[in-house]
Structure formats: structure tokens, C-alpha cells
Structure 1
Amino acid sequence: MNYMKMALLASPTPQAEAALEELHRKYDWVDIEDASLVIALGGDGFMLQVLHDMLARQQNVPVFGMNLGTFGFLMNEWRSDDDLLQRLNKAKPVTVSPLAMKVTTISGEKFSSPAINEVSLLRETRQTAKLEITVGGRVVLPELVCDGVLVATPAGSTAYNFSAQGPILPLDSGTLALTPISPFRPRRWRGAILPDRAHITFRVLDAAKRPVSAVADQREYRDVETVEVAIDRTNALTLLFDPEHALDDRIAMEQFAIG
């Protein structure tokens, strides 16, 4: 694939800005509105920011990230001595569908937000949250007493979900992870793997006394009463990976990481 119009974005860190200056000297660049491909320099947090900006613009052009942050799970290795154009032509595309979160607050306000990694519900005070969970119109848990709960995509299953003892999902599994955060009752419930066609609804029980916030990746809404979550197939995103660092391979190998 030949990428003639490339945009270059970098996180505001010294390492990323130094890399940006180096690449600016080597290649020709265009504004993001005119780009057929975006190069993102930074870490996973910056990559999520770039992808959310694309969703807001309704602009689905491939993104090739290079890691100049901490973890860089969604990024490729930073290498300045390679022929970038040759590297891009060999890259493997991966399609990621975000979650769509719809929120209704206690006061009746309604909001919506996409999530590429996960949607999480979290208690706001020292008191545990009490949640009713419905899947596909059927109440599957009348009352979950917990610190919170999250729904993760396969691409996000190695992030917050994995830290909460949730399962790692293969990228092509067609599933979502429903994972409790510090469950108190039912104590032995450890979550579920659901088909990605599932429509999940959370209802906060005793919402005024036990307030809960809802977070779509990094965007938070407080004092929620109901939260609906489902895959949004109309806004797919495309990530590019070096063949030796393909996202599906990295997700599989993360299950054997011991560090």
C-alpha cells in the first residue's frame, strides 16, 4: 500500500517532540484533514487520544504508532534508522470497533461517548456500589455489590480489565469481557465473556446514597443512574503494525508475560 499523504502527530514529551523534529526533516507531511495515514509518536494514552479525535472527526484513516511512552501496547517500536515508507508498506492493518456508551444521570441528563479500551463504572465514595446488570434485555445479576465493573474490548482486554483479573481476549474472538472490580457480593462471581453483539445495561441501585461514575476510556460522567454499552460497528478504526509486532500476536503473548 502506498501512503502519499502522511500526517505526523506527537505527544508533548521531550522524547516524542525530538522524534517529531527528526521525522519532519526526512519526509513530507500534510495536515491531518488531508492525510491518508497518520503517524502517532507517544504512548498508549496518546494513541487513544488520537483515535478519539478521529472518531470525533468521523475520519477513519490508518494510524501507525511508534512508542515513545511507557508501555506502548498499541504502538510499534520507535526506530529512526529505517526507511519509514518501506516499513509502512509492509505493515499489517488491524480493525478495531469501539464501544458506544450511553449514560443517564440521576438528574436526567443524557450523554454518549465512545470507548476503545473499556467502559468502567466506579463507586464515587467509601460506600460500595450496588448494580443491576442486564444483558440482551434479561437481568443476569439482580445485585452486584462491588467497587465497580467494566466492559472491555479485545484491544483493551490487556489494560484495566487485565489488572482487575479479567480475561485476555483474542482480537478476532468476537467477544467482550464483563469484569467486576473488587466484588463483595456475589463474592465468587469473577465476570463473564459475552458475544460482542451483546447489549449490556447497568442500573445503579440506591444511586443517590451510593453514587457511581461511568468512564469511557478517559472521559468520566458522575452520578449516573443507568449506563448502556454496545459495540459501535459504524465507527471502525484501523491500526497498522509491523508484521513482527501485530496486535493479535501481542495480545496472545501477553498471557505468558510474567514481568
Structure 2
Amino acid sequence: MSNLDAGEIRLALVASPTPAAQSAATELRQRHEWVDIAQADIVVVLGGDGFLLQTLHQMLDRRRILPIYGMNLGTVGFLMNEWSPDLLELRIARARRFTVSPLRMEVETVGGEKIEHPAINEVSLLRETRETAKLEVCVNKRVVLAELVCDGILVATPAGSTAYNLSAHGPILPLGSEMLALTPISPFRPRRWRGAILPERTRISFRVLEPVKRPVSAVADQREVRDVATVSVAIDRSTQLTLMFDPEHALDDRIAMEQFAV
């Protein structure tokens, strides 16, 4: 069993409950010494993108935000490095660090409840029933769409632009572009509107039109608030998250190359 950098860097290990991730965790525990996350300098995450986002949100909740080095034992693993139990010390020492700030979603429900959630990938508004959603869209308190009839709409960060945003035909945003993607989901009216790219300092607000007849939910990554009346989204500059990647597997390169994927 090895000490990472002679004990200078303290690592914590967290793993998805899937059999593959648990098996990998057992192997790594036999090879290295680990500490509790409360004493760690870096967290090694085994799983997929969803589990990595879950781990980041848990750190945000606890206000103890540590750099994360993830290894993919899920499906896509876009935010992860390749899984290998070998040369872990060297890989972490060589890893490139990328710092991102999450979105902050502020919601007021139809019942008057006020709720806030962070989002690392995207904030999405989605219709709850068969009825299409009707939304008023504001940018920096200016109404830019008086009525958008759609299945929903989302605001994506560069880190999240290759996820749900890309599936909704939104643009890929290079890491470091300091932009946000505003992307409609199945827009019906105005039919030709395909979204916008906005500076990340922008505050984007939505008002649900006919919220009782056409109920809408708001989702910050994996956290849903139902029956919303208004939603406001902006970058939370007070919070920074650090993801670590192997140099040949760096996030900025992967996002850029997604523009050429066919």
C-alpha cells in the first residue's frame, strides 16, 4: 500500500453504488491509503457524469469544496478521466485543473415558496403535463420574448453545453468562453427562434404564463422544483469548482472536439 507523495496529498475515495465502481474502489483501497473527505485535499470519484455531479452538489451543500479527479465507470463519462488503477499518483500530479462557477437558480413557486439551487451543467424549465408551456423570457430585466410556447427551455454553462443542451440542438460553448447558452426545447412559437448565446454575467429570468393551466417544473442539474411561477438564473461568482483531467484527456479539448463529432 502506497502513500501518495509521501503523505503530502491526502486523498478521499468515493464510488458510485454500481458493481463496476464498487469493484474498482475495492482494488484502489488495497493499493493506496485514503482519508475521510473531511480531511482530504483531493477527492477521487469513481462512476459516471451523474455521480460526479452528485458529489459536487454534496460538497456545495457542505461548503467544503475540494478538487475532483474522476475516473469513468459509468456510461458516457464526459467529465471523467479513463479508468485505470495504475499510476494514480503520477496521473494526479500531472493533471490539469479547470475551474468553473455554477449557476444559481432562484425559484418562486405558484404557492409563494422561494427556493434556491446551484447547477453545474444547466437549469431547465420543463412542462409538467401534455399542455405546452408558455413562458415570458427576460434578459437583464428586459423582456426579449413576450411569449415562448414550447416544451421547455434551458440555460447551460460551457461545461454543460455538450449535455442536455447539445441534445436540444443548442451550441457547444468552449470552456473559458465566458458565455451561456439559452436553448429552447421543442419551440412551437416563435417557431424560428433557436436560442441565444449570452455573456455569462447575464441574468436570465422566466415568468410562467398560465402556471395553473400549464404547470412548469424547474430543474437544476438533478434537483427539481415543481409548479414554478418565476425562475431567475445567473452565474454564482462566489463559488468555484475544480475538476482535474489527464493532459491528454483535458476538458477544454474534449468540448472543442465535440464540434466535429458526427
Q: Which TM-score bucket, shorter chain as reference?
A: over 0.9
Match of 1:73 among 68, 72, 78: 78
Alpha-carbon distance in structure 2 between the residues aligned to 1:83 and 1:106:
53
Question: 1:58·1:235 contact (CA, 8 Å) conserved in 2?
Answer: no
Deviation digits for residues 182-211 of structure 1 (CA, Å, limit 9, x no counterpart): 000000000000000000100001111110
| 2:258 equivalent in structure 1 | 254
Gaps of 5+ in 1: none
Any idea what SS the aligned residue of 1:202 has?
Answer: strand
Residue aligning to 1:27? 32
**Equivalent position amino acid for 2:112 in 1:** G
After the TM superposition, which parts of structure 1 deviate over 3 Å for at least 4 consecutive aligned residues?
A: none
Q: Secondary structure in 1 aligned to 2:260?
A: coil
Identity of paired residues, percent?
69
Among 141, 144, 147, which residue is 2:145 paired with? 141
- Determine which of 133, 150, 154 is the counterpart of 1:150: 154
Residue by residue over 1:48-95, the C-alpha shift from the partner in whole angstroms, topping out at 9 and shown as x without a partner, is 001101111111211000000000000000012x21111100000000
Output the CA distance in 1 between the equivalents of 2:64 and 2:137.
33
Quote how far apart the aligned CAs of 1:46 are.
Answer: 0.4
Give SS of 1:22's match.
Answer: helix
Helix, strand or coil: the match of 2:46? Answer: strand
| Structure 1 residue 60 corresponds to structure 2 residue 86 | no
Distance in 2, matches of 1:171 and 1:205, equals: 34
Are 1:183 and 2:192 matched, yes or no?
A: no
What does 1:1-259 align with in structure 2 at a 5 Å threshold? 4-80=9-85, 82-258=86-262
Tell me the CA shift for residue 4 of structure 1.
1.7
Q: Give the root-mean-square deviation of aligned CA atoms.
A: 1.0
Per-residue deviation at 1:96? Answer: 1.2
Q: For 1:59 and 1:77, how far apart are their aligned partners in 2?
A: 26
Give the Cα–Cα distance (whole angstroms) in 2 for the partners of residues 133 and 40 of structure 1: 37
TM-fit CA distance, 1:214: 0.3
CA-to-aligned-CA distance 1:147-188 (integer Å, 9 cap, x gap): 000000000000000000000000110000000000000000
CA displacement, residues 26-45 of structure 1 (integer Å, 9 cap, x when unaligned) = 11100001100000000000
Residue 249 of structure 1 and its aligned partner are, at CA, apart by 0.3
Report the TM-score when normalising by structure 2. Answer: 0.97
SS at match of 2:118: strand
| AA in 1 matched with 2:157 | T
Secondary structure of 1:184's partner?
Answer: coil
Aligned length: 257
Q: Which amino acid aligns with 1:8?
A: L
Separation in 1 of the partners of 2:224 and 2:23? 32
- Stretches of structure 2 that go unaligned for 5 or more consecutive residues are none
Task: Tell me, yes or no, if the aligned pair for 1:133 and 1:200 is still in contact at 8 Å.
Answer: yes
